[in-house]
Amino acid sequence: MNVFITGGSRGIGAAAVRKFAARGDSVTFCYFENEKAASLLAAETGATAIRCDVADGAAAKQALAGRKLDVLICNAGISHMGLISQITEAQWRRIFAVNVDGIYHCVREALPAMLEKQRGCIITVASMWGEVGASCEAAYSATKGAVIALTKALAKELAPSGIRVNAVSPGVIETDMCAGFDDATIAELKEQTPLGRIGQPEDVAEAMAYLADAQFVTGTVLPVNGGFVI
């Protein structure tokens, strides 16, 4: 399969690049800032790396132009922690531009080829905070709630054309987003997780691979949270 992964240079995205490349899929991924990590990952996996800010519609169009994709994974995302009263308008706009607009830009460019073939798979990355909300992460929670709604709407819209649309909804995953947590916070999060551990990026990549292959699954939001939200 031809697979395109956004935000692929680190964390969940990098795990997805490794997972799909190891399966023998033809993988292209985009990154925005970390060129060194992207180059090393491309060399390791044989995947193709492209620099692209998915918040920029023109950049997304250039990155995806002419690609006959089987699977589009919209993983690129940023977070923001702080009181709603402290987030600036520029920060608010940027998190929506990356987390929500980025999906729109990439889906818009990938769809024509999928519609022509009458098949395809789109996987978005939501969050358990998009399902239940998180204090001091209002903007992030709002974007991930939008991702869930968009995923379900697109699933209904595109199913008659043979295109499946699903989301993974990670819980606490050991990535850069939780790198600033102290040991006490990590211990508390483990205690709140019924499976008793923090998730790994590979856990989410496994769920993505399942959704890529599950031909009778669409419109689902697959929790990958260790039971944190049930």
Active site residue 140: yes
Where does the pLDDT of residue 212 fall: very low under 50, low under 70, confident under 90, or very high at 90 and above? very high
Among 31, 104, 140, 210, the active-site one is 140
Domain 2-223 has CATH 3.40.50.720: yes
User: What does pTM read for this prediction?
Assistant: 0.97
Rounded Cα gap, residues 46 and 48, in angstroms: 7
Where does the pLDDT of residue 141 fall: very low under 50, low under 70, confident under 90, or very high at 90 and above? very high
Q: Which residue has better confidence, 195 or 183?
A: 195
pLDDT in the model for residue 67: 94
**Model confidence pLDDT, tens digit, residues 174-191:** 988 777 788 888 889 999
Residue extents of the structural domains in the chain: 2-223
CB 229, CB 132: distance < 8 Å:
yes
- Decide: helix, strand or coil at residue 216: coil
Residue 133 predicted with pLDDT over 90: yes
Residue 41 predicted with pLDDT over 80: yes
Q: Mean pLDDT score of the chain, rounded to an integer?
A: 96
Where does the pLDDT of residue 70 fall: very low under 50, low under 70, confident under 90, or very high at 90 and above? very high
Angle, to 10 degrees, between the axis of helix 89-96 and the axis of helix 138-158?
A: 30
pLDDT in the model for residue 93: 98
